[in-house]
Chains A and B, each alone.
Chain A
Amino acid sequence: AQSVAQPEDQVNVAEGNPLTVKCTYSVSGNPYLFWYVQYPNRGLQFLLKYITGDNLVKGSYGFEAEFNKSQTSFHLKKPSALVSDSALYFCAVGGGYQKVTFGTGTKLQVIP
């Protein structure tokens, strides 16, 4: 069975500082990894995904994620946080024809 862990319920970062939201995964076979963002009272929005290739994936709104196979991690990063980045972030893993499994989410709070 595949699974995703987001070890931090909440991450606080000052505006302008770099941010990292952590994700580790477990899946048999090749992992397909995703990040989504949810703003209050909205549905989830796709940010980026890793299927194969370059370990650094670039996505929407200046976000990027680093795939590390040896550490089974897929951490979300941004060089300079904005107050508007404050939201709930979900990591997800899928594989082949399997459905996607979501993590429990990490609340990002960017402090002005």
Chain B
Amino acid sequence: NAGVTQTPKFQVLKTGQSMTLQCAQDMNHNSMYWYRQDPGMGLRLIYYSASEGTTDKGEVPNGYNVSRLNKREFSLRLESAAPSQTSVYFCASSSGTGIYEQYFGPGTRLTVT
């Protein structure tokens, strides 16, 4: 039982390059989330998927797209990376939204130069 896994762990991109961050969970959770963590800003929600087949914008969605591929997998895509997207990205999952605790992956540290 691996919980929530994320790939890659580290990535360096040049401005304008694209990439996809992968996330998978093996807990049969309905809801999945993408956050970014920046110093002094806490966690900010980028996108979430309340259930398979649905996605919704969070607090900071600009510059990102997501795909809920199936119940297990939720990917985050940066189409044209910018230095402002340098951050640590966390994927999380939960049984449902609102009242359920979330389980987090180990994070992806992304640097955009």
Residues of A within 8 A of B (CB): 32, 34, 36, 41-46, 49, 51, 90, 94-105
Contacts and interface: CB of A to CB of B under 8 A. Distances in A.
B70 to A, nearest CB: 21
A61 B42 CA distance: 23
B64 interface: no
Contacts of A97: 50, 96-98
B74 interface: no
Interface string B99-111: 1011111110000
B98 A100 contact: yes
Contacts of A49: 99, 101
A90 B42 contact: yes
A94 B97 contact: yes
A105 to B, nearest CB: 5
B45 interface: yes
A63 to B, nearest CB: 14
Given A43-B90, A104-B41, A104-B42, A98 B97 contact: yes
Given A90-B42, A104-B41, A99 B48 contact: yes
B61 interface: no
A34 B50 CA distance: 19
B104 A45 contact: yes
Contacts of A104: 40-42
